[in-house]
Amino acid sequence: MKNVIEVEELTKIYHDNLVAVDDISFSVGEGEIFGFLGPNGAGKSTTIKCVIGLLRPTQGRIRVHGVDAIHHPGTVKRYIGYAAQETAIDDRLTGWENLYLQGRFFHLSREEVLTRGREILELFGLWERRGDLTETYSGGMLKRLDIAIALIHRPRILFLDEPTLGLDVQTRAVIWDYIQKLRTEHEMTIFLTTHYMEEADALCDRVAIIDHGKIAALDRPGALKAQIGGDVITVRFLDSGPATLSLVETIRSLPEIVEVSQGEDGITRIVVRQHGDRVIPELFSLAIHHGVRIDSLRLKRPSLDDVYLHFTGRDIREEGGSREELHRARRAQRRLRR
């Protein structure tokens, strides 16, 4: 697979000596959906802005489609579509005017804007409302329009900074569909940041977890989940006594089992290295063999949430983090809004 984004040793230090991105390297393959996960102020948006030419990196090299993004930002911008965290739609203009302007800013001809614009607005279900002022649009419509606008010049790579933030479940599902359609039908590379782990898990081929301006982990979601530990099977046996004890001993001796522990409440917790679902049939046959009846059984696989928490440590940064980290996150947030 050809790499369309190559970032090497990227560092971004702002004027106030805030180190937003600290010596990170990664690459994104053509046609890949690549997810960037991390707490607020971790450096996600800063990295994107360096790649798309909005910010000048302090150090490092960035190549987009083989072009040096730092020295030829103008060329790189034509390959890139960008929908920012906050939808940047002019609400005093109609949906069509917003789209038309963007097309002209990318130096498309009037005819190109007309044909592509219609195509895109129809795809995003906004064609009927194109003539309405966008101040009458719902939040979901604005987000769809924002993504549609980012596509008018047929970019090779689409950057979506928190594409589903604050949207309802239905709208999020619709946007996921669009993202997948863009990849399969237009072979577009998609680089997204998100706070929703299930979204990253469902959409992304690979994810990078970024924290304190560094990449803490980077792999396929499945591999990351396997990396932080196995599946957990919790079983409640109906019987107790020697038969059950002997069954537990047998389970403990199975090769895939990492750990078996019995709680006071009569629940047995079995940690499996991986593929816990394949261990379950074996458990059943062993239980029958030992004459032990099973009341209930549950399999829990680590989610990307667990992976994320494993690498970033704290659930809510503001509560768990130090004072300095809190300031850092706030400053980074403010910078985004400025």
Angle (nearest 5°) at CA 89 between 83 and 92: 170
Segment lying near other proteins (by CB under 8 A), choices 81-89, 177-185, 260-268, 283-291: 81-89
Site string for other proteins, 26-65 (x = CB under 8 A): --------------------------xxxxx---------
Smallest CA-to-CA distance from 200 within 216, 217, 176, 178 is with 176
With CB under 8 A as the contact rule, the residue among 2, 68, 71, 92 that binds other proteins is: 92
Segment lying near other proteins (by CB under 8 A), choices 76-84, 113-121, 225-233, 273-281: 76-84
Of 111-170, which residues contact other proteins (CB under 8 A)? none
Size of the site for other proteins (CB under 8 A): 30
β-pair type (19-29, 3-13): antiparallel
Please say which residue, 133 or 326, places its beta carbon nearer to other proteins: 133
Query: Could you say whether residue 106 binds other proteins (CB under 8 A)?
Result: yes
β-pair type (157-161, 189-194): parallel
Please say which residue, 67 or 299, places its beta carbon nearer to other proteins: 67
β-pair type (80-83, 189-194): unpaired
With CB under 8 A as the contact rule, the residue among 169, 241, 255, 338 that binds other proteins is: 338
Query: Could you say whether residue 8 binds other proteins (CB under 8 A)?
Result: no
Segment lying near other proteins (by CB under 8 A), choices 92-100, 136-144, 178-186, 230-238: 92-100
Tally helices (H) and strands (E) across the chain.
13, 14
CB of 97 to other proteins, least distance (A): 7
285 and 296 Cβ atoms separated by less than 8 Å:
no
Backbone φ and ψ for 320, nearest 5 degrees, come out as -85, -25
Query: Could you say whether residue 331 binds other proteins (CB under 8 A)?
Result: no
Applying CB under 8 A, which residues contact other proteins?
14-15, 52-56, 74, 77-78, 80, 82, 84, 86-93, 97, 101-102, 104-107, 337-338
